[in-house]
Structure 1
Amino acid sequence: MTEQVPDTARWKLLLEAVVGIGADLSLDGVLARIVRVGSELVGARYAALGVLGAGPGKRLRTFVHHGMGDDAVLRIGDLPTGHGLLGLIIDRPEPLRLHDIAEHPASYGFPPGHPPMSSFLGVPVRIRDQVFGNLYLTEKAGGGDFTQADEDIVVALAAAAGVAIENARLYEEAARRERWLSATAEITRLLSGTTLGSDALQAVADRAREVAAADVAWILAGDADTEMALEAVSGHRVDAALLEVLARQDALAAEVARTGVPTSLPALEADRLGPAVVVPLRNAAGIEGVLAIAWEPANVDAFHAVDAALPAAFAEQAALALQVARHREDQQKLAVLEDRDRIGRDLHDLVIQRLFAIGLGLQGAGRRVDQPEVAAKLDTAVDDLDATIRDIRRSIFALSSADESTDLQSEMTRIVDRAAANLEQRPTLTFRGPVRTRITPRVAPHLLAVLGEALSNAVRHAGPATVSVSLTVGDEIELVVRDDGVGMAGEVAESGLRNMRDRAERLGGTCRIESVPGSGTAVVWAVPTG
């Protein structure tokens, strides 16, 4: 009876431990409890649980230990990763008892500062057919070896631990799903407010990276048939080199955009980025880009913990929220434009007509006045009314463009208005031909740059009283910027205006300078239509 009391007590302790372990849903708490109970059950001075990584390498990603003081841990340094005798049990997951660790052929030895260990018992911790890790026990109390009874009770503990670990992992998986759902709701709520454009895309990238515990996340906008543009990047260590790496992923992004299938990759760039998940941004209108999440090679376990279906669902909901937000923004712009149209009609139908009638009345009165001074003042008043009418018409045109419009005529008007602040009079601006429809996006940036440079030269060097700008679109696109300033010498024109000439030649056109000292300057910039 005296020999059976410890065994009975051990099985009772095991039962109590199983109940306690099953009540803990924290994986870290479960692991710590297992190693402590294992040490108590068999009288081992040291106990440890090595948790296998999720990747194909089958190395240890976590090593939970018991019985070793903090000072000893600091002296040893890095924890084991699964080589030597520990690696043997990983490769052959079955119980192993040894009298002396050092005598086994697979023994890898101990690092400096490691306490001496001889007797050894190792048992795999299984979750059905999957090995989660291994429980290691060393230094049997009293200096003896671990027995078959010790092995049996530790195998029973490992079996119960496997169930508890699976429950804890399921709980963590549910928590991860909850975080993705919360992130989706947060993004939807954010985009239902005032967050739009690039800020909205940045918010999507930031939230995806945080929930996935990733090192970097980015969004490429576009579809499979066009060049995809990098719109948002989120990460703690985003630099020029990383941006260059991300820019090289456009082929992968185009493939995901074409197929609409989420893709997981084991590695993108070995030197900077390890595994990645790329998912489409899909809404009711189709796929308009991709969301990519990547981890550095050292954080590969976080990648394996992510189910690609979760970021895919998050990206789809975010894309729908972005589409709704854009539609709401378009409706707001439409309401503003409708109000501006109403104001424009009122100005045109009421104000301009009244001013025009007043001008006609003043002209008629001027013909019946005998005093030249009075007639001259009336003529001046009529001219002022004509100028006022032109200003009102220009204001009506400005009202027809949204504040953020990229319309070419609006952009040219803004450039002229900026130059007017440094001139005696506002430059006149004239458009002829189908300016809105015939000038392509390829030509427009060059044309605007040339206009800005020509006006800048006039302001800085010519000292003009008047400046005129005309844009004519027919068989070719011709921009003429003319001033009545001091003119310029030939060599100055050649050196100072080379950039405008280069832009014209790049588009198959020409740029010529017409200037006579004292008689002003004209820049004539012409390129083929389209």
Structure 2
Amino acid sequence: MASNQVPVKDVTVVLANLREIAEAVMQAASAGTLEQALQQIAEVTRELVGVRYVALGVPDGMGSLKYFKTVGLTPEEIARIGNYPQGCGLLGTIMDNREVVRLDNIAEDERSAGFPPHHPVMTTLLGVPIQLGDQFFGILYLCDRFDGQPFTEEDQWLVETLAGYAALALAGVQLSEQHARLVLLEERERVARELHDGIIQSLYAIGMQLQLIRLTQQHPDSNLPDIIHQLDQVIEDIRSYIMNLRTSTYERQTVRQCLEDVIARLHVPSALKVHLDAPQRLPPFPAPVLESVCQIAAEALSNVIRHAGASMVRVAAAETDEVFRLVIEDNGRGFDPCEDCHEGMGLRNMRQRARIHGGQVNIHSIEGVGTRVAVTIPLNSKK
């Protein structure tokens, strides 16, 4: 049923529902980030329809989910379930087809892949896409009304209507975030100009002084120490600029954003499918640790692209109260660790970066099966 086909019911109820939807969408549109807007839409959907569980899944374009916001599960339940859904089974089918699905019994549907361990059993399902023209934002998944009844046409109309307005709100939030990124790029260009017009020009001036001394003085040694000191100071200024730029960038990034940037920079070939599973929140450690994590991921993925001959690689990041874990696992040709006993520079750098923060890198590979790189960094080191 299309969202403009209103179920026959009391007009006052329809107007009340529309007012609730309008207020909810306005609140979501004013959210500071896309992630906050998604969470607010999921929460108001649950309240509006009266269901136990709501999830809002947003694809990442690489076969997995960029965001998966849930309402109705406790933090303990979420922790026991573990990683995001991987876009398989019924949820993946709804995501691929982008059509409304209403089921009275999830288990009886042939597309269902069942629930993972520790996942609460859910019976009824209403899945509605959020899209604006050709722009697809994600899917709203609703499970199990509080009254135990199956979802109705009225429920479907409500959620479709909400999804339509939510698409407008999410498009607005995305535009705001894109504008913020453009402002950041402009700021970086400004800093680059300052480097060129200030520090780099100072280097040129010092170089000219050295050249003048070489040409005009027979014994220039007495003047060189001061000039060399100036040169060292300028070089240190450049390093400070660069480090400040790096740190400020990583301080604003989530683990997922960091890994997405790594994947984008590597220009992954189309034959290699990358599945990314990483939290979309600020990491529980300082920016230098995140920078090391990104560099390790970049080196491991680069090895997969260049040497593994793989068709799939999975990048998974997760954390507990005590440790952060990053796993890069491919289905490529693998290698025999006994024969490849000499570590290359890339692997040594990976181990060294992890060791700086009290962590370690473990590599497990089987010929003809693939390779698994596991990075663990204790969260109590915070270096």
Where does residue 280 of structure 1 map in the other structure?
none
Q: Which of these residues, 139, 157, 161, is aligned with residue 156 of structure 1? A: 161
**Cα displacement (A) at 1:297:** 5.4
Q: How much has 1:204 moved relative to structure 2?
A: 4.7
The one-letter amino acid of 1:236's match is S
Q: Choose the corresponding residue for 1:37, options 40, 44, 56.
A: 44
Q: Which of residues 270, 277, 299 in structure 1 aligns to 2:304?
A: 270
- Distance in 1 (CA, whole Å) between partners of 2:27 and 2:104 is 32
Change (3 A) 1:242 1:113: closer
Report the counterpart of residue 27 of structure 1 in structure 2. Answer: 34
The equivalent of 2:110 in structure 1 is 105
Offset at residue 155 of structure 1 (A): 1.0
Give the secondary structure class of the aligned counterpart of 2:77: helix
Deviations 1:473-522 (A, max 9, x none): xxxxxxxxxxxxxxxxxxxxxxxxxxxxxxxxxxxxxxxxxxxxxxxxxx
Aligned to 2:59: 52
Q: How does 1:184-203 map to 2 (within 5 A)?
A: 184-190=189-195, 192-193=198-199, 196=234, 200=238, 203=241
The alpha-carbon distance between structure 1 residues 81 and 202, as it changes in their structure 2 partners (threshold 3 A), is farther
Contact 1:61 1:81 in 2 (8 A): no
1:52 deviates by 1.0
Q: Does the 8 A contact of 2:39 with 2:69 survive in 1?
A: yes
> CA 1:297–1:208 in structure 2 vs 1: closer, same or farther (change >3 Å)?
farther
C-alpha change, 1:67 and 1:238, in structure 2 (3 Å) is: closer
Structure 1: where are the runs of 5+ without partners?
A: 218-233, 247-266, 274-295, 300-530
Native 8 Å contact 1:187 1:203 kept in 2:
no
State whether structure 2 residue 19 is matched by structure 1 residue 12.
yes
For each residue in 1:163-204, what CA deviation from the matched residue of structure 2 results, as whole angstroms up to 9, or x when unmatched? 111111111111111112222223433451467559747855
Once the two structures are overlaid, the 10-residue window that deviates more, 9-18 or 59-68, is 9-18
Q: Judge conservation of contact 2:46–2:54 (CA < 8 Å) in 1.
A: yes
Q: Aligned letter for 2:131?
A: R
Alignment-mate amino acid for residue 85 of structure 2: P
- In 1, Cα distance between the equivalents of 2:85 and 2:292? 29
State the structure with bigger RCO (CA 8 A, min sep 6), 1 or 2: 2
CA drift at 1:42: 1.5
1:81 paired to 2:86: yes
Q: What amino acid does structure 2 have at the position aligned with 1:43?
A: G
The answer to whether the Cα contact below 8 Å between 1:183 and 1:211 also exists between their aligned partners in 2 is no
The answer to whether the 8 A contact 2:124-2:151 is kept is: yes
Per the alignment, residue 70 of structure 1 pairs with 75
* 2:145 counterpart residue number: 140
What aligned pairs does 1:207-356 form with structure 2 within 5 A after superposition? 207=245, 211=249, 214=258, 235-236=291-292, 268-270=302-304
Native 8 Å contact 1:31 1:49 kept in 2? yes
Structure 2 portions without partners, runs of 5+: 1-7, 203-232, 263-289, 308-313, 318-383
Cα offset, 1:28, TM superposition: 1.9
Cα separation, 2, equivalents of 1:16 and 1:171: 20
Q: Deviations over 1:395-418 (max 9, x none)?
A: xxxxxxxxxxxxxxxxxxxxxxxx
Instruction: Indicate which of 104, 125, 134 corresponds to 1:129.
Output: 134
- Matched residue type, 1:22: A
**Aligned partner of 2:171: which letter?**
E
- Work out which of the residue numbers 121, 125, 143 in structure 2 matches 1:120: 125
CA distance in 2, matches of 1:187, 1:196: 15
Distance in 2 (alpha carbons) for counterparts of 1:43 and 1:15: 18
Matches within 5 A, 1:371-382: none
Contact 1:127 1:162 in 2 (8 A): yes
For residues 368-414 of structure 1, the C-alpha deviation after alignment (integer angstroms, 9 at most, x for no partner) is: xxxxxxxxxxxxxxxxxxxxxxxxxxxxxxxxxxxxxxxxxxxxxxx
Q: Distance in 2 between matches of 1:52 and 1:69?
A: 23
CA contact 1:60–1:80 (8 Å) conserved in 2: yes
**Cα displacement (A) at 1:130:** 2.1
CA distance in 2, matches of 1:52, 1:74: 21
Instruction: Name the SS of the counterpart of 2:147 in structure 1.
Output: helix
Q: C-alpha separation between the residues in 1 aligned to 2:186 and 2:55?
A: 36
Instruction: Please state how far the C-alpha of 1:209 moved relative to its aligned partner.
Output: 8.3
Contact 1:123/1:155, CA 8 A, preserved across alignment: yes
Change (3 A) 1:272 1:173: farther
Q: Is the 8 A contact 2:26 2:169 kept in 1?
A: no
Cα 1:209–1:125, aligned 2, differ >3 Å: closer, same or farther?
farther
Distance 1:103 1:4, change over 3 A: farther
TM-score of the two chains, using structure 2 as the length reference = 0.53
Q: Give every structure 1 segment of 4 or more consecutive aligned residues whose post-TM-superposition deviation is greater than 6 Å.
A: none
- What is the CA–CA distance in structure 2 between the aligned matches of 1:137 and 1:238, rounded to whole Å? 35
Per-residue deviation, 1:270: 2.3
Q: 1:98 to 1:7 in 2, by over 3 A?
A: same
**Counterparts of 2:238 and 2:101 in 1: how far apart (Å)?**
56
Residue 178 of structure 2 corresponds to which residue in structure 1?
A: 173
Deviation at 1:31, TM superposition (A): 0.7
Distance 2:76 2:293 in 1: 33
Distance 1:60 1:165 in 2: 17
Seen in structure 2, the aligned counterparts of structure 1 residues 37 and 208 have a Cα distance that, compared at 3 Å, is same
| CA shift digits 1:104-157 (9 cap, x unpaired) | 111111122222211110011113202111000010121111111211121111
Give the distance between the partners of 1:110 and 1:242, measured in 2 at CA. 30
Instruction: Report the Cα distance in structure 1 between the residues aligned to 2:96 and 2:236, rounded to whole angstroms.
Output: 50
Say if 1:35 and 1:66, in contact at 8 Å, map to a contact too: yes
What SS does structure 1 have at the residue aligned with 2:150?
Answer: coil
SS, match of residue 159 in structure 2: helix
Give me the whole-angstrom Cα distance separating, in 2, the residues matched to 1:106 and 1:33: 29
Q: Distance in 2 between matches of 1:80 and 1:109?
A: 12
Partner Cα separation in structure 2 for residue 174 and residue 272 of structure 1: 36
RMSD between aligned residues = 3.8
**Does the 8 A contact of 1:25 with 1:167 survive in 2?**
no
